[in-house]
Structure 1
């Protein structure tokens, strides 16, 4: 497993390094709510990505690494946690019956991000992608109820899965340490110049708010 994890982490970092040169600052309004996946992430800290780095750059790597953790936990669950696996299988079958699933098959840079922008005050949306998806989910029949004993057993298995996820996460953090220099070099080369250019443009606009028109 160690070698497999190492290979996956190397591949995730390489994929992120290939993507970073294509990153551009977002021109739309920023969101109010912070990203729970990236805020204070030990994964990003281990990779050398500070909190001052634009969120899109952070999210591209944190999502790729989360996928590795998710796959490792899924494999562990399938081999060791039958009750949790049964619940997950039922939920997966339930989700597959939904015709509209806008959050699936997204690029890593967009996975886990809100489906809709924040509404402008006084200008609500006629509909939202998240709202349409929720409408379909509400029409599905609920999962069968569990007995108290089954609920207790399921909670124990969920706890074991969480412990395993934390263990894998710690291992990955150690593996990311050797990628720090390349990650930071990519940010310095491709990201920071664009931020500096934006700041310079903003400073110029603030210093000269009006066109002179030759006067």
Structure 2
């Protein structure tokens, strides 16, 4: 498993490094809620991506790493957890029956993000992408109910899958330590200049009580 994960992590980092030069700061309003995938992520911490790095940059890397964990857990589940696998197969079949699936087949930079922006106060949306997806989901029949014994067995298998996901995640974090310098160098080269340019532009656009020499300007002059 170690060699396979090492190769996958290296490929994910390379893909992120190829994408990073195309990153540009978002021009739309930010969201008030933090991203549950990136906020406090041990993966980003291991990669040396600090909380001050723009979220779009963080998300592009964390999503690529999450895909590795998901695939590893999927393989483990298929081999060892038959009840959970059967439940996932039924859910996948149900998802394929939906007529509208806007959250699928997105680029890593957008996967897992909210489908709609936050509405402006007092100006709600007439319709939302998430709302249409919910309506399409409601048209598909629900999965058959499980017995109490089946639920207990399923919870046990879910726990085993979670333990394996944590094991894979810890291994990936140790592998990311070997990529920290390249990741941080890329952020310095491609991200920080854009952030500094934005801050400089913001500073120039704000009214300031200071004169060109740094002292308070005299309004009577």
TM, length-normalised to structure 1 = 0.96
Which residue of 2 is the match for residue 117 of structure 1? 117
User: 1:108-155: CA deviations, max 9, x gaps?
Assistant: 000000011100111111111110000011111111111111100000
Which residue of 2 is the match for residue 75 of structure 1? 75
Partner Cα separation in structure 1 for residue 171 and residue 47 of structure 2: 13
> What is the alpha-carbon root mean square deviation over aligned residues?
1.0
Which residue of 2 is the match for residue 96 of structure 1? 96
Partner Cα separation in structure 1 for residue 17 and residue 77 of structure 2: 31
Which residue of 1 is the match for residue 217 of structure 2? none
* Equivalent residue pairs, number: 209
Higher gyration radius (CA)? 2
Which residue of 1 is the match for residue 22 of structure 2? 22
Give unpaired runs (5+ residues) of structure 2: 210-221
Which residue of 1 is the match for residue 108 of structure 2? 108
Which residue of 1 is the match for residue 160 of structure 2? 160
User: 1:56-83: CA deviations, max 9, x gaps?
Assistant: 0000000000000000000000000000
Which residue of 1 is the match for residue 62 of structure 2? 62
Moved over 2 A (4+): none
Which residue of 2 is the match for residue 213 of structure 1? none
Partner Cα separation in structure 1 for residue 64 and residue 174 of structure 2: 16
Q: Post-superposition shift, 1:103?
A: 0.3
Partner Cα separation in structure 2 for residue 208 and residue 156 of structure 1: 61
Which residue of 1 is the match for residue 40 of structure 2? 40
Partner Cα separation in structure 1 for residue 86 and residue 35 of structure 2: 30
User: 1:150-201: CA deviations, max 9, x gaps?
Assistant: 1000000000000000000000000000000000000000000000011111
Secondary structure of the structure 2 residue equivalent to 1:72: helix
Contact in 1 for aligned 2:17/2:183 (Cα 8 Å): yes
Which residue of 2 is the match for residue 206 of structure 1? 206
TM, length-normalised to structure 2 = 0.93
Contact in 1 for aligned 2:98/2:139 (Cα 8 Å): no
Partner Cα separation in structure 1 for residue 88 and residue 206 of structure 2: 54
**Greater alpha carbon shift after TM alignment, 181-190 vs 134-143:** 134-143
Which residue of 2 is the match for residue 52 of structure 1? 52
Which residue of 2 is the match for residue 183 of structure 1? 183
Partner Cα separation in structure 2 for residue 196 and residue 43 of structure 1: 26
Q: Post-superposition shift, 1:208?
A: 6.6
